[in-house]
Amino acid sequence: MSTIDKIKQLKKERDAVILAHYYVNDEVQAIADYVGDSFYLSKVAAKTEAKTILFCGVSFMGESAKILNPTKTVIMPDMLADCPMAHMADIGKIEKMRREYEDLAVVCYINSTAKLKTYSDVCVTSSNALKIVRALPNQHIFFIPDENLGRYVASQVPEKHIILNDGYCHVHKGMTRQEVKKAKEEHPNAKVLVHPECTMDVTGLADYIGSTSGIIDYATASEAEEFIIATEMGVLYELRQKNPGKRFYPVGNHAVCADMKCITLEKIADALEKMNNTIEIEEEMRQRANQPLERMLELGK
């Protein structure tokens, strides 16, 4: 039996739904029931009726699914697939900021550990951060962990005082202005579509800045035929599927998230067979981490 047939059979036996982020390998996206950005996937995870959620993504995604839907079994193809940025904020610093500003809101990018979420007031993703920060009654915002997304939000919501943290995504931070300019020289008619986890050097050259699904929707709706894509290269799969007549060029050839790419069909079949690699979160922590996630779902509607 092929690995894909094995996955199909095990999925039925385990009453499992497969969720995948746009950054995982093409063949994994191809077999998933739902593929999307972090916000979309968290909404699917919160609502699914399947008994088991197999999350093809990094650990904060599986954790968020478990936090939002605790009666489900959440399994990961590879427990080592983790987002380094999810750990890049310091609890002591959060507490210090809270002492300094009475009306502080700690806004936590969903790319964060469950523990960091428990210290936060609301979560955001790259597709809803602007909407949610604008909707908050607080004037002072401590944005964790991603400095670049925080800086982008600050530039779009100047009426708020946004305090930045020094976390970053190494994949997005690694893309340079020179590389974008070179791509633009090679493809002068191409629109430049950039993820807000990139540095200001790169977002400054963008025709459009948005989340992975924002980028896909923009390119799909656009009359342009060529696009330079400044985000992890996994999005090229969906971009090309949806737009066979258009041309997409990555920035450099190194925007690859090794943690996302370590998920394979074999690991998916194995996890479904053994039903190991389950996400477990202690109930008190889960309830505390659930509050900012639920608030995000409410404000992000």
Residue nearest to ligand 13P (CB): 37
Under 8 Å between Cβ of 213 and 127: yes
Q: Which does 84 bind (CB under 5 to 8 A by kind): ligand 13P, ligand SF4, none?
A: ligand SF4
Closer to ligand SF4 by Cβ: residue 104 or 198:
198
**What 8-state DSSP symbol labels residue 120?**
-
Q: State yes or no: residue 128 binds ligand 13P (CB under 6 A).
A: no
Alpha helices (H) along the chain = 3-14, 26-31, 38-47, 59-68, 91-100, 114-118, 129-135, 147-156, 170-173, 177-186, 200-203, 212-221, 235-242, 258-261, 265-274, 283-299
Interactions with ligand SF4, residue window 274-293 (CB under 6 A): none
Q: Would you count residue 171 as binding ligand SF4 (CB under 6 A)?
A: yes
Which of 54, 88, 104, 260 binds ligand SF4 (CB under 6 A)? It is: 260
If one asks whether residue 38 binds ligand 13P (CB under 6 A), the answer comes out as yes
- Contact between 52 and ligand 13P (CB under 6 A)? no
Nearer to ligand SF4, 131 or 170 (CB): 170
Out of 48, 73, 111, 112, the only residue in the binding site for ligand 13P (CB under 6 A) is 111
Q: What six digits make up the tokens of 56? A: 């093809």
Instruction: Kindly tell me the sign of the dihedral angle through the C-alpha atoms of 184, 186, 190, 192.
Output: negative
Q: How many residues bind ligand 13P (CB under 6 A)?
A: 13
Query: How many residues make up the chain in this entry?
Result: 301
Beta carbon nearer to ligand SF4, 152 or 160 = 152
Contact 58, 46 (CB under 8 A): no
179 binds, among ligand SF4, ligand 13P, none (CB under 5 to 8 A by kind): none
Burial class (CB in 10 A: 0-12, 13-18, 19+), 3: middle
For binding to ligand 13P (CB under 6 A), which residues are involved?
37-39, 83, 111, 125-127, 169, 195, 197, 211-212
For binding to ligand SF4 (CB under 6 A), which residues are involved?
23, 58, 83-85, 111, 169-171, 232, 257, 259-260
